[in-house]
Structure 1
Amino acid sequence: MYSRKTSVLLLNIVELFERFSYYGIRALIVLYVTAPDGFAMSNESAIDYVSTFTMALALVAVPFGLLSDLVLKQKNAVIIGGSFALLGSLLLLSHQAAIIGLGIIMLLIGTGLVKNNLLVLLGRLFRKEDQKRDLAFILRIIAINFGSFLGIMTIGYIGEVMGYAYGFGIAALAIFIYLALFLIIRNKLDLQEETLPFTPLADPLLLDQEQRVMPRRNSFYTILLIIFLSFLFFEISGTLSSFFRDSFNQIDRFFFNQQESSIWFVETFYFVSGIIMALALLFIWRKKSPLSSWQRFTLAFFGVLLVSLILIGSDYLTDIPLQVSIIGAGILIAGVEVAMSAVSLSYITRLSEPKYASTTIGAFFLFSYLWTEGVTYLENNFSVEVSLTHCFYLALIIGLVLVLFRKEWSTLSGGLR
């Protein structure tokens, strides 16, 4: 049996290769179908196909979660999903549209099974009351950021320069690596959580630090509340990121003396900032932290509040160079997004029952997609425009509400910190 640290590291390596292959294939497919020697589609059509794939992935999240929890079980679902993804990536080497379409369907099945269950297994390495679970999910953010960034850059570059077959071949190799690694480690993971009865309308049981059984309130509605608050947070941070990117373009042109800013520069800055802030959070939280997960959740909202103040003040505080305030805002946005992503998913896995954990995570991904599409629809059809001032007041109100109702939260979460 591996130690918990080794188990966390190995599972995150598996996820790194999975995200490497997924995002690399997604980027390369767009390049391939729009190329003259491919299917010569328009960029709009290619983006529509990718959007359809993303929608399908969200819609199958809950059914595949139920299938994993009730029939396949979580470890087996990763193996079966990885096998589907491997076969699908190999089918992409074909030049026939029907075979490529079949390959994309197999990739959809594979990704849908693997994505939920890797996350659930990571959470199951910790007992419910263990706050070091948050550290594992920060490592997960680092792994998926590295995997997605390197996948897009590596597979996309190799596909364009050496040939699309080589790009899809690299993706297939990455899938083979993570599948083989998981087959080796699956029975040696130091899983701590036991499977408990899933009773969404009753009071489930929770083991505390002394392994005594203590009652707690139903966590179903608490999980819904966390999902709703995390969506609000990322809506605020997403708006702030848009303002940051617009302001950062000025710095980009200043440094490179260009009329037009380059997308790769701002995205690379955002990626590097996220990694640096994730490592900083690991260093700060690596020892027993006095902050509960809910307090970290609250601080994330005050973090975006501070970012909105910095972006608003950059237009008025002429004594501070624009470059300093904008770069500071970008680093802070990356940091609070890493913290919120890790803490929210960590807390959801803490509150959910292991027996139905994959279904719960699938619901999270489905609601996330529906929320994003709903907000986009409102923005496009009702001319909804959110300003920095709106972000400031919304973050302030939510942050204060979380502070005022902190005792009630302890009751809702059954005493979990």
Structure 2
Amino acid sequence: MKEMTTPEPVPGAIAEDRSGLFGHPRGLSTLFFTELWERFSYYGMRAILVLYMTAPVDKGGLGFGIPEATSLYGTYTMFVYLTNLPGGLIADKILGARLAVLFGGIIIACGHFSMVFPSLPFFYLGLTLIAIGTGLLKPNISSMVGSLYSEDDPRRESGFSIFYFGINLGAVLAPLVCGFLAESQMFKNFLAARGFDPATSWHWGFGAAGVGMTLGLVVFLLQRQRLAHVGNLTRKRKDSPDFVPDKPLTPAEWKRVGAIFVFFLFTILFWAAYEQKGASLNIFTRDLVRRDVGGWVYPASWMQSLTAFFVLLLAPLFALLWVRMGKRQPSSPAKFTFGLIFISLGYFLMVPAAWLTGQGKISPLWLVGLYFLEVIGEMFLSPVGLSTVTKLAPAKLLGIMMGVWFLAAALGNKLAGFLGGFFKTDQVNWLQGLLKTDNSSTRVMLYGGIAVSLLISAGILALLTPKIKKLMGKVH
């Protein structure tokens, strides 16, 4: 779900550049570090977003209720994906990819730095700017990576793998840094000792995200000559070899479009469950998980690094698995089914975990297990889904169909925020002598409901697989 636009190949002379990282074009390392720092800024801020909104006002937070906070989280992450559509169009028609990436990065940095100020208007301004800037940067930096290679360059897949590694490396590091600054008592004590209000620690975390994006812009500008040949605004002419004439879709093409929309519906459900980690599971970690190690309590947001870490661990193994299996590997509908099954298993694991919270805080290993199973599901669904859409979509509708794929992620994120609003933490009733309100049964129903819904969805998709294969035609 990372890339959106279809990159155009470049002339062979450019594709022969082997002076960069591991024999790749020099521009790859520039884009690698730019995207690493952009993802650092995004995942760093996102890791503390719901925690900041639900923290009490006297602790520097906004004092929002859980439903209000998770709903806003869902709306924000939805628009991060929705803005990819106009962002790609603006690059194609007006700016070119390179300028779109530059302007997008500047807008993102301004958004993060807006959130440094402890003011609600600046908070909303920051979220808006980050969503707009991500729409300009995210799809177009991916297209620039593809433009470094000719279509038949054997290094192309390897180049995207290196780029994908940078994305997830940034996602691993970000919660560790931003979470430490925002949540840790050690940093709060550091601020207090130097005359700063420790309740402002959240805004230091937001500022660190802005510094990350600024570092990405510095890399992009200092090494801009490496990218002089890619990301320029181009106009497709009717005599261009990749010009697609406006012809009606054939019946076979309409069937493949129908298959895409079936995948679209199940993808929404997958991301609605997956993105709980930034919503309800973030609060679950803060309030209901034992986080002390040798007397030191690590930040709840640090758990957000686990999924990206598991992606780094499992992505090469799955890539090797598909290569080894060759034509014997499961069909795309079967892989989607496996993806839904594994994330369902993760949430079934959360049912006893949620029940045990009624007796006190639980081990973080429950969440480690959930996130590991989630990422296995992601390996079956996310890269496979992106590849399947590019194979199924008619050439004239490729951009629109890729937009549909990202629309599924957007709606899934919004649904994640809605579902997160049903989460209830345990509260202390001070009027009745520290009596705790036990909401463990509510949490069991929430995560059990997600698990059962995913499993039923997997069963429905398995039953539909023969019909979906017919719609897909010769596409596997």
**Which TM-score applies when normalising by structure 2?**
0.59
Contact 1:83/1:110, CA 8 A, preserved across alignment: yes
Structure 2 equivalent of residue 274 of structure 1: 311
User: How far is 1:337 from its partner?
Assistant: 1.0
Q: Could you tell me how far apart the structure 1 residues matched to 2:32 and 2:398 are? A: 18
Structure 1 equivalent of residue 379 of structure 2: 338
Structure 2 equivalent of residue 206 of structure 1: none
Q: Structure 2 residue aligned with 1:394, among 448, 457, 466?
A: 457
Unpaired runs of 5+ residues, structure 1, are 204-214, 316-322
SS of equivalent to 1:41: coil
Q: Could you tell me how far apart the structure 1 residues matched to 2:310 and 2:105 are? A: 31
Structure 2 equivalent of residue 228 of structure 1: 265
Alignment of 1:372-391 (within 5 A): 372-374=413-415, 386=449, 388=451, 391=454
User: How far is 1:113 from its partner?
Assistant: 1.0
CA change 1:345–1:253 in 2 (3 A) is: same
Structure 2 equivalent of residue 347 of structure 1: 388
Unpaired runs of 5+ residues, structure 2, are 1-13, 192-200, 233-239, 352-363, 423-444
CA change 1:387–1:282 in 2 (3 A) is: closer
Identity of aligned residues (%): 22
Contact 1:301/1:399, CA 8 A, preserved across alignment: yes
- Alignment-mate amino acid for residue 249 of structure 2: A
User: How far is 1:54 from its partner?
Assistant: 3.1
Higher mean alpha-carbon deviation, 104-113 vs 161-170, is at 161-170
Alignment of 1:135-154 (within 5 A): 142-154=165-177
User: How far is 1:20 from its partner?
Assistant: 0.7
CA change 1:339–1:120 in 2 (3 A) is: farther
**Which TM-score applies when normalising by structure 1?**
0.66
User: How far is 1:77 from its partner?
Assistant: 2.1
- Alignment-mate amino acid for residue 244 of structure 2: P
CA change 1:159–1:116 in 2 (3 A) is: same
User: How far is 1:14 from its partner?
Assistant: 3.1
Structure 2 equivalent of residue 295 of structure 1: 331
1:305 aligns with 2:367: no
Contact 1:273/1:334, CA 8 A, preserved across alignment: yes
Alignment of 1:348-367 (within 5 A): 348-351=389-392, 360-367=401-408
Structure 2 equivalent of residue 72 of structure 1: 95
CA change 1:297–1:153 in 2 (3 A) is: farther
User: How far is 1:94 from its partner?
Assistant: 5.8
Structure 2 equivalent of residue 176 of structure 1: 217
Contact 2:314/2:376, CA 8 A, preserved across alignment: yes
Q: Structure 1 residue aligned with 2:42, among 17, 22, 31?
A: 22
Deviations 1:192-241 (A, max 9, x none): x97543758435xxxxxxxxxxx983564444333234334445777999
Contact 1:78/1:113, CA 8 A, preserved across alignment: yes
Contact 1:137/1:345, CA 8 A, preserved across alignment: no
Structure 1 equivalent of residue 6 of structure 2: none
Structure 2 equivalent of residue 408 of structure 1: 470
Structure 2 equivalent of residue 210 of structure 1: none
Deviations 1:239-285 (A, max 9, x none): 9999x99xx99xx8699799x99856755554433321123223434
User: How far is 1:137 from its partner?
Assistant: 6.0
- Alignment-mate amino acid for residue 337 of structure 2: F
User: How far is 1:350 from its partner?
Assistant: 4.7
CA change 1:181–1:405 in 2 (3 A) is: farther
Q: Could you tell me how far apart the structure 2 residues matched to 1:353 and 1:181 are? A: 39
User: How far is 1:333 from its partner?
Assistant: 3.5
Higher mean alpha-carbon deviation, 333-342 vs 141-150, is at 141-150
CA change 1:410–1:96 in 2 (3 A) is: closer
Q: Could you tell me how far apart the structure 2 residues matched to 1:312 and 1:31 are? A: 25
Contact 1:307/1:332, CA 8 A, preserved across alignment: yes
Structure 2 equivalent of residue 211 of structure 1: none
Deviations 1:29-70 (A, max 9, x none): 777786879976324476665555334434534333333333
Q: Structure 1 residue aligned with 2:108, among 85, 108, 111?
A: 85
- Alignment-mate amino acid for residue 217 of structure 2: F
SS of equivalent to 1:331: helix
